[in-house]
Structure 1
Amino acid sequence: MPSFVRLRKFLRAYGRAMAQPVIPVVWLVTSIFGIVASPFGTEHFPLTGRVAFWPITIGLGVLAGGLLRVVVRDCWGLRSFWPEAPLIAVLATLGLTPLFIGLARAVAGPAQHVPSIPAMTGYIFIMSIITSTLRHAVAATWPVVPESEPVPESERVPGSEPVPGSGAGAAPSVPAPPDRDAAARLMARLSPELRAPLIRLQMRDHYVEVFTEAGSETVLLRMADAICAAEGVAGLQVHRSHWVARQAIRGVIRAQGKVSLALQDGTQVPVSRGNAPAVLALGLKEMPPQADNGPQAPQAMVAR
C-alpha cells in the first residue's frame, strides 16, 4: 500500500478517534477537577500555575493517547487488553514525562514544588492504565444495536441487491449483482466516506474490522452480529474470524495443504479446514500461491 494511502488511512482513524463528543467533556471535567483538587503534589502550585498545568497536560494526554491507540490498535493490530494497555502506558510515559516535568517547572512558582521524575512517571503510567481499563470495560458491555432497529433513511447507502445470504460456513450458490442497501445496517456504523460495497469482515476480539472498497474501519460488534447486519449481501464465513463477500472473491489458492481466498483488494484470507469443502465446491478459479508480502497479506493471513 502506498505510503500516502497509509498516511491518509491513519489520519482518518485518528480523526475519528478524536471526534468523539465525549472527549471535550472529559477534558473540561478532568481539568476542573485537577485545578480544584490539585492531586499529585500540584497543591503547592499557585492558582495560576494549576490553571495552566492541568488543562494543558490533560489536553496533551488526550491527544497523545488517541494517537497511541491508533498506532497500537490499527497499525500494530494489538486490541486485547494485554498487551495493548501496558504498551500504550509505556509509550505515553516515555513521551509525556519530559513534557510534563518541563511544564511543571515552568508553572510551579518560586517554591518549585515539582514532582520528581520517578513520581511523574508513575502518575502517567497509572493514569494510562486506568484509562485503558475503563475503556475496555465499557467496550465489553457496550450494547449491540438490535437487528430489528430501523436505519434512518439518511444513513442508507446505495449499492447491492438483496440476495439471500448464506449462514456461517455455508456458500451461496449463485452470485448476484451488488446492492448497497443490503448492508445498510452495517454501513450505518461506518464513517460516511467508507460506506461502499462490502469486501470482507475480520474479527478482532470484541471488535470487527469492516473492509469496503473505500477503506476499513473497526466497529464494536460481535462477528455474528456483523454478519447478521450484512444480511442480504451474498457472502460466506470461511473461518471463525473471517467473512467475505462473494463478489469480492477473485479465486482460490491451495498451497501446502491449506486453502485461502484471493480477494479483489489484494488480500489473502485463510479458509478453515471445516469450511474448505464448501469453498472448493463453488468451483472458483484456481490461482497460484501468492507471496505473503502483498499490500495487506501479513495482517489478513493471521488465523485466529
Structure 2
Amino acid sequence: MKKLRVIFRLTFKSLVRPRVLAICFLALIAAVGMGPFGTYTSMSFAERLLYWGLIVPISVIFGYVSFALSVVVGRKLSLSARYALEGIFATLSITMLVWGIGRLKSTIGSAGELSLLQAFGFVALITAAVVTLRAIVVQAIGAKSQVETRFEPRLAQRLPSEIGGYVMHLSVSDHFVRVSTDRGETHLRMRLSDAISEMEGVDGFRVHRSHWVARDAIKLAETRQGKTGLVLNCGREVPVSRNYKPTLVEAGVL
C-alpha cells in the first residue's frame, strides 16, 4: 500500500509541471479549434469549449492514473507489456468518460452523442497513438544515452557478465559497494570513492556519503518534510545530503 501511494504521488506530481500543463492547454485549444469527431460542424464554439474543456483535462488525469496502475499491477511485466496495460486502462476509462459526457444532451447538444462502440474506437486509436509515441520517445532517449556512454567505465570490468550493463546506482552496503545496473545487482568489496572514480566518463553525481547515481537514472527529485531525495527510473528512492545538494542544483537536477 505504501508503494502504491508513493507511485501515485510521484506520478501526479509531474502532472503540474509547466511543460505538461502547456501541452494540455495546447491540446485543448487544438480540440476546440479543429472540432474533431464532428464537433466543429455540430457544436457552437461555446459548446465545443465546454465539451473539450471537460474531456481533455479529465482524460489527461485518467491517463496518469492508467500509467500509475500499469506500474503497480504490471511491475513484473516487461516494459512493452506495461505499455499495453497502460493503453488498456486508459482506453477503457476515457471511453466511459467520452460516452458519459455525450449523454449530457442538455449541456453539450446532440453532437456529443457517440455510441459506446464509436467512442471506444476513437479513444482506442488516439490512446494507441499517444502510448506508442511516448514509448518511441523513451526508447530514443535511452538509445541516445547508450550511444553517449557506449564506452565501458572501468568499474564495468568488475561486474559479472549476467548483470553487466548500464550502471545506474552505487551505494554502500556494510563493507561492500552495491552496484545496480539495468540488469540486476551485485556487491563489490571496495570503497565507494574508488568505485566512483572507476565510473569516470559517465555523467553522474555523488548525492550522499553512501550513494552515487547516474544522471540518466534520475526520474525526478522531491522534497518531503524538509528532506530532499531522488527517485530513480527503477522506483528506488535515494537520499540527497545537504553537502551534495548544491552540486545537483548547479547541474539542474534540483
Work out whether residues 13 and 70 of structure 1, in 8 Å CA contact, stay in contact via their aligned partners in 2.
no
**Matched ranges for 1:1-304 at <5 A:** 3=1, 5-43=2-40, 44-77=42-75, 78=77, 80-81=79-80, 83-106=81-104, 107-109=107-109, 111=110, 114-142=113-141, 143-144=144-145, 165=155, 167=157, 168-169=159-160, 174-176=189-191, 180=208, 183=212, 185-186=214-215, 189=218, 190-192=220-222, 193-195=228-230, 209=234, 211-212=236-237
Q: TM-score, normalised on structure 2? A: 0.59
Identity of aligned residues (%): 17
Aligned residues: 183
- 1:60 & 1:173 partners in 2: Cα distance? 48
* Deviation of 1:173 (Å): 6.2
Work out whether residues 87 and 127 of structure 2, in 8 Å CA contact, stay in contact via their aligned partners in 1.
yes
| Larger RCO of the pair (alpha carbons < 8 Å, separation 6+) | 1
Deviation string 1:3-49 (CA, Å, 9 cap, x unpaired) is: 3x224312333234424432112211111111111111212122211
**Any idea what SS the aligned residue of 2:12 has?**
helix
**Structure 1 residue aligned with 2:171:** none
- 2:188 & 2:52 partners in 1: Cα distance? 61
Work out whether residues 27 and 58 of structure 1, in 8 Å CA contact, stay in contact via their aligned partners in 2.
yes
Distance 1:173-1:96 versus aligned 2 partners, 3 A rule = closer
Work out whether residues 165 and 172 of structure 1, in 8 Å CA contact, stay in contact via their aligned partners in 2.
no
The amino acid of 1:8's aligned partner reads R
- 2:74 & 2:16 partners in 1: Cα distance? 22
Work out whether residues 70 and 83 of structure 2, in 8 Å CA contact, stay in contact via their aligned partners in 1.
no
- 2:188 & 2:139 partners in 1: Cα distance? 36
RMSD: 3.3
**Any idea what SS the aligned residue of 2:132 has?**
helix
More helix by share: 2
Larger Rg: 1
* Deviation of 1:209 (Å): 1.4
Work out whether residues 101 and 115 of structure 1, in 8 Å CA contact, stay in contact via their aligned partners in 2.
yes
- 1:112 & 1:38 partners in 2: Cα distance? 11
* Deviation of 1:113 (Å): 5.6
**Any idea what SS the aligned residue of 1:194 has?**
strand
- 1:93 & 1:210 partners in 2: Cα distance? 25
Q: TM-score, normalised on structure 1? A: 0.51
Structure 1 residue runs of 5 or longer lacking an equivalent are 148-163, 202-207, 215-304
* Deviation of 1:174 (Å): 3.7
Distance 1:40-1:76 versus aligned 2 partners, 3 A rule = same
